[in-house]
Structures are given as C-alpha cells and as structure tokens.
Structure 1
Amino acid sequence: MPNSELMPIGVFAQRSGLTSSALRFYADSGLLPPAEVDPVSGYRHYGADQVARATALRRLREIAMPLAEVGTVLDAGAGEAARLVDEHVARVVGDAAAARQKAAVIKSALGGNHRGLLIAALKGPVLADAVDQVLTATAYGPGAAVLTGVHVEASHEAIALTATDRFRLSTRSLAPARTAEQTWVGTVDGDDLRAAVAEIRHSALVRVEAVPHGVRLRMGEREDRHCRLLSEEFPDHRLMLASLGEVTTRATVSKDLLLRALEEHPGECVALHVSGHGVDVRSPNDEHPGIPLVATVTGEALQIRFETTTLYPAVSTAIGPDVMLDLRGHDRPVTIRSADRGDLTTLAMPVNQAAPANARIEGRSATSSLHEPQSRRCKLCSQ
C-alpha cells in the first residue's frame, strides 16, 4: 500500500476513537493489526479502510464484550453478528438483574431486619395479573423515574396498585387473603416487579413485606424476591381522581370488538363518535370510513379523539367481555373499566382537539396530560 494512503497510529487513533495504547493492544492480540510496520523504526501505520473495523471494535468493547467474542462478531456476516450482539446483551442484562437481586438480599440482611412488616398476603396469580395490568401505564423518560414505578397503598381492607405515564392511569384494588399489620404507602420499582411476575404467578400465596429501601416478596418454597423503592414523590393521583367531574356520556361496548376496530384503524390517531346509535370508530378528519360498533349509550352525543397508543392498552387490560367508557367531554379524562367488575380502573387522556387533526403526533405534544390543570394542558398531573 502506498505510504500516501496510510496514516500514523496517532492520526488513526483520532479517526477511530481508540487510544494509541489500545491500538497496540488490539494489534498484538490479532484483532486489528496495522496495515504496515516500519521495519527500522517499528512505527505502525493504518489504512483508511480499517477505520470501520476499529470503530466497530471500540463499540463492542463499550458494551463489555470479551475479546474472543469481539473477534467472532467482527469476522461474521451482518445477520450472524447481530445475533451474537443480542446474545451478549441478554447475558449482560441477566447478570445485572441477578446482581441486583443478590444486592437487595445482602442489604436486607445487613439491615438486620429479617422479619419485614406485612403489607398484605395475596394469591399469586391474582397479584401477577394486577401487576401486569397496571404496568401498561408506566413510562420511561429522562427525569421521570417515578413514572416507571407502581404506587402501592395498603390498608386493613385492601391493597391498591397504581401506575401512570401522565396520559394514562391504571389502578387495581385487591382484597388481601391476610390484612396488613398497619397502613403502608410506597412506590415500587416497576422493572423489579416485572422481573418477578412469573414467579409470583406460580405461587399460591405471596406475602408482601416492607423492608428497608424496598419490599420483599415471600413465596413459600420459592426464593424471596426483593423490589426497590423509588424515592421520588408519586403524582397526586387521588386529588386528580377526586376532581374528574361529572360523567356526561356512558357507553358500554364489547371489549374485543373495540380492540379489533382499533387494530384495523390505519391512523395514529382515532376518533370515537358516541351517540344513541352506538360507538363509531373513525379517523379524526373522516378520511377513512368509520367502523360502527353496537353499544349501550346514555347521555349526550360526543366525539372524542385519542392516540391509538394511549387508548388501545387502556382497553386491552380491562377485565371481562365488555368495557364501560365514562366520558366527561372531548378534552377530559375518560374512565375505562369493566362493565361488571370495578376493581381495575384506567383513565386515558384524549388528544387536544385544538391541534390539527392531521398533525403528526410526536412527543405527545398534541395530547393532553392527566395531571396538569385543564386550562393549560390536559395532563393527568403536573408532577
């Protein structure tokens, strides 16, 4: 290769993002040998066509991939390389989850609190279903760690699980098999609960106990699971629930038929036209034919718009064959619950109809939020 097409190790280090010492290490290990080594000075030179391999090597090492695996990925085809990367990431995530669980057990033991405060004793399958249902309303984003969690409120009569992403809110009340020793409130890490759901589901009875910095799930012969507490304050959902306002329209419709209509609807945003004739699932600008659904409707006729990503999961988690929609106006939260069981309640916030119907929904800028004052933005809460 002509010298004019080669670059010294310092220049190549800047191009690839690797340090000169790292390049020497990878050269000696055989992963990235230089294109040419001066036989007299020993200076190493690299070709421009090696930048892509060096960059890929750096990125693989940034995700803690061992050298032996890095070489296999670099030499594999695109499909095989992607599979190997996915396998590595799955192992890292699994190891991290296992380490987090072990750390929780260690912290609990160090605290000397071997007997936690009983929050509730619940049937495992019932608790698992409740966790799955409310977790659909969690959210991930910068500065919103508390929105990834499940708020738990335990009293002598019931235990309530609540989650919100500010555009939906799901809450489920459960009757415990054994009541709490005292009232307790906390927000539990949603990822920890999600990881424990399978074991919870296969446990006849789960004791939920409060321990320092978290809750402990005791499941008989199964190993205890620990879930961290989140320190941020949970949005004041009770104040929001108390100020929902009067229901002006109520519609009871088949859950399966409504979900099917939402699945068949082609747009990101959907309009529900609710009247004495039933519920019609339409495009906000009527560019597609509506899908009429038989429904029992009382109250005023109303058209209300939703993002499909807000409405669909709110309906899909409802219990039973029919869902009841309690509507309060085109810009107010809609309550979605089972027609025959009220222990799971979900709120969904409609799209602000002041925004153009054909506006691209991005970052939920056109959607109200459940926690903000309705005069500004219709969020569920401002926290």
Structure 2
Amino acid sequence: MPNSELMPIAVFARRSGLTSSALRFYADSGLLNPAETDPISGYRYYSAAQVARATVLRQLREIAMPLAAVEAVLVAGADEASRLVDDHVAKVVGDAAAARRKAAFIKSALGDVPGQPLALLKGPVLTDAVEQVLTATAREPEMPVLAGLRIEASQESLTLTATDRYRLSTRTLVPAGPPSRPWAGTVDGDELRAAVAEIRRSALVRLDAVPHGIWLRVAEREDRHCRLLPEEFPDHRLMLASLGEVTTRVTVSKELFLRALEEHPGERVALHVAAHGLTVRSADDAHPGIPLPATSTGPDLRIRFELTTLYPAVSTAIGPDVMLDLRGHDQPVTIRSADRGDLTALAMPVRPVHSA
C-alpha cells in the first residue's frame, strides 16, 4: 500500500498544474518520476516535495524549452539555470524575429505590390530621431498602439510621434526627397528600435511603405521590415491644436536641469519658476530646493511632475539649453531645444497634493 502522505496522480496533477497524461510522459522521459508506483495496480503516487520541481518543469515547457534543456535546468545550480533560461529566451526571440522578417518577404511577394517611397534619410539622423521619440512609448496590454511610433510623410517632411498619454514626443525630419504621395502609419516600436540599431553608420536609408509595414533599405545590408500596428493612434494633432496660450516661459541649462532631477530624492518633483530663475523642489516641500540659473518671462508658477514623466522629456532635448513653455499648474508643458524646434516633447503635470 502507498504511503498515506503520497498523492495519487490526479491530485498531484491539480497541485502542479500538469495533466495526468503529461505526468506519465515526464515519468517515461525520466524528468519527473513518481515517488512510488504500486507494483500490482501500476498506480503512480507523488510526494508534496515534488510539487516545486513539477511547477518549474511546467513553466519551462510553457516557454517552449526542449526536454533536453529542461533537464539541464532542473539539475543545474541557480546561476547556471538562469543562464540556460536566458539563452533559451534569446534563441526564441531571435527565431521569432527571423520568422517575422521572412513572413514580411512572403507577404510582399504574395501581394506583388511595389513599395511606396517615403523618404531618403541619413542613417545617424534617422536613428537618433527614432531613439529620441521612442522614449515616449508605453507597454499597456489594453492599448498596444502606445508601444508604436507614428510616421507621417508629407511633401515637406517626415514626422515621428509617440505618446504614453502622459508624455508626447514628436520630431520632424526633412528628407532628401518628398514621398510620391502623403502617407501615415503606426510602426511597431520594438521592431523599429531593433532595425535602426543596425543602420546608425549607414550613409543613407530609404524608407518604403508596403501594405503591412515599412521597409528600411540600406545599400550592402539586409533590408529590415517593421510591421504596422492595426490599432488607431491617439489624435495627437487635436491635442496639440487645443493647447492653451503659453503664460510662463523659462530657459535653463539642460545639463544643470538633469543633474538637479537626478539628485532629487522623491518620485515627484515640483518646479518653481520665478523672475530670479528655476528651483527644483520636492512636491511636498520635505527637502530643500535646488536653485538653477535660468531666464524666465511671465508670472511665477509652481508645477508638479512625476519624475519618470519629466526626466525623459528633458534628457532627449537637443542642444545645451532647454525651453519650457508653461500654461498653468494643471496644463501640459512643452519642452524643446532653446534654439531648435524639430524635436518637441509634452509632459503632463500631476495635481497638487491638496487638490481633490
């Protein structure tokens, strides 16, 4: 008779999340043998101590790890097991990217639709612009489009825009030649980030639009495809058009501003703009402020931000000085270079602590 503390296979299956058939398969494979098998009935019994191993086994199989690799993880120490898991995930991600590129070729061949030329740009310029704007993306399962980058091609320019609803970043580039006709689409941010990382040193990059994505074409390199996201991008143009009048403007050294934000101890920061300059304070006044030399126009203003919203908007600004256009303590602030207007960021403030 089996030990009373052992579990029949059906009970152990519920505890471990594995089916009875899977447990039989893993036993036959030598990965998870029963603690005891009844010699007469053949019934299999498992111990409570085996639940942890069974759970890890299930989780590894859920990420499509082969049996041989699963066995290596189960017998390895913690550091080696972590390395093996990382190696497997890297391979899966690489295989998925390769499959996606091949699928793009296949879809293009099936449709037999020539690409629409969008722009011809210098590789370093395009790479910097994409990386700057992508800082405003977010991964939200209910709104996957927030992880994308909006590309709009007109006769005069190529505009890149991203937003996470609390922050918006947009940059305008002037291509070597205009597109054959206007075009707009939202490109997968992760794919675009990976693609531009390989073209930074390319003299020229041609962007072509196809029905399901865009191609980045570079001489003597493999073309890179980035798929389009089907969801509708937020109406950022309406938001920009509805911005109120600027009431206070301050210009400050980007380096000093970032240093003050880095030294700030809290998750929220308050900016106090006055005639004598800009002071970076804690939102609750629990810490002394950091005064910065700055030039300002308009009435004094105190405005609060989440540090994770304000810092990226300032850090991606172009040039040594940044300009902040303020419209009130509860209105978006526009952040851009003091002498260049092709990269603009908007950051939403947070309500004061005492607000309802």
Report the TM-score range of the alignment, normalised by the length of the smaller protein. over 0.9
Which residue type is aligned with residue 260 of structure 1?
R
**Where in structure 2 are there 5+ consecutive unaligned residues?**
none
Name the residue aligned to 1:41. 41
- Is 1:223 equivalent to 2:222 in the alignment? yes
Report the Cα distance in structure 2 between the residues aligned to 1:256 and 1:314, rounded to whole angstroms: 13
Aligned 1:84-123 pairs, distance under 5 A = 84-113=84-113, 115-123=114-122
Amino acid at match of 2:26: Y
Q: Distance in 2 between matches of 1:187 and 1:159?
A: 13
Instruction: State the SS of the aligned residue for 2:278.
Output: strand
Aligned position for 2:284: 285
Deviation by residue 1:249-278 (Cα, 9 ceiling, x = unmatched): 111111111111111111110000011111
- Over residues 66-108 of structure 1, what are the superposed CA-to-partner deviations in whole Å (9 max), with x where a residue is unaligned? 1111111111222222222122112111211111111111111
Match of 2:263 in 1: 264
Q: TM-score, normalised by structure 2?
A: 0.97
Deviation at 1:2?
Answer: 6.5
Q: Take 2:109 and 2:28, find their aligned partners in 1: how far apart are those partners?
A: 46
Cα distance in structure 1, aligned partners of 2:230 and 2:48: 50
1:158 matched to 2:153: no
Aligned to 1:346: 345
Query: Alpha-carbon deviation of 1:202?
Result: 2.2
Does the 8 Å CA contact 2:279/2:289 hold for their aligned counterparts?
A: yes
CA distance in 1, matches of 2:45, 2:2: 11
Deviates more, 1:333-342 or 1:141-150: 141-150
1:180 to 2:179 alignment: yes
After superposition, residues 171-320 of structure 1 pair within 5 angstroms as 171-320=170-319
1:40, distance to aligned residue in structure 2 (A): 2.1
Secondary structure at the residue paired with 1:104?
helix
Structure 2 residue aligned with 1:10: 10
Q: Deviations over 1:335-371 (max 9, x none)?
A: 0001111100000000022x449xxxxxxxx9xxxxx
Q: Deviations over 1:15-36 (max 9, x none)?
A: 1111111111111111111111
> 3-state SS of the aligned residue for 1:3?
coil
In the alignment, residue 165 of structure 2 is paired with which amino acid?
R
Unaligned 5+ segments in structure 1 are 358-365, 367-383
Structure 1 residue identity aligned to 2:220: E
Deviations 1:282-307 (A, max 9, x none): 01111001111111111111000000
Question: What SS does structure 1 have at the residue aligned with 2:224?
Answer: strand
Q: Structure 2 CA distance, aligned partners of 1:62 and 1:333? A: 44
Tell me the CA shift for residue 57 of structure 1: 0.5
SS in 2 for 1:296: strand
Instruction: Report the Cα distance in structure 2 between the residues aligned to 1:346 and 1:15, rounded to whole angstroms.
Output: 51
Q: Equivalents in 1 of 2:273, 2:186: separation in Å?
A: 37
TM-score, normalising length: structure 1: 0.90
Indicate conservation of the 8 Å contact 2:7/2:47, yes or no: yes
SS in structure 1 of the partner of residue 34 of structure 2: coil
Cα distance in 1 between the residues matched to 2:9 and 2:185? 55
Distance 1:49 1:149 in 2: 46
Aligned-partner Cα distance in 1 for 2:135–2:47: 50
Question: How many residues were matched structurally?
Answer: 356
In 1: Cα distance, 2:103 partner to 2:222 partner: 14
| Amino acid corresponding to residue 51 of structure 1 in structure 2 | V
Which letter maps to 2:344? T
Residue of structure 1 in register with 2:144 after alignment: 145
> Partners in 2 of 1:278 and 1:2 — Cα distance?
80
How far, CA to CA, are the matches of 2:7 and 2:230 in structure 1?
A: 52
1: CA distance between counterparts of 2:250 and 2:87?
A: 47
The equivalent residue for 2:323 is 324
Q: Which amino acid aligns with 1:203?
A: S
Secondary structure (helix, strand or coil) at the match of 2:4 reads helix
Alpha-carbon distance in 2 for matches of 1:235, 1:20: 48
Q: Deviations over 1:137-160 (max 9, x none)?
A: 111112212211111111111111
In structure 2, the residue matched to 1:378 is none
Residue type of the alignment partner of 2:203 = A
Partner Cα separation in structure 2 for residue 47 and residue 199 of structure 1? 52
Q: 1:282 corresponds to which letter in structure 2?
A: R
In structure 2, what residue type is equivalent to 1:174?
L
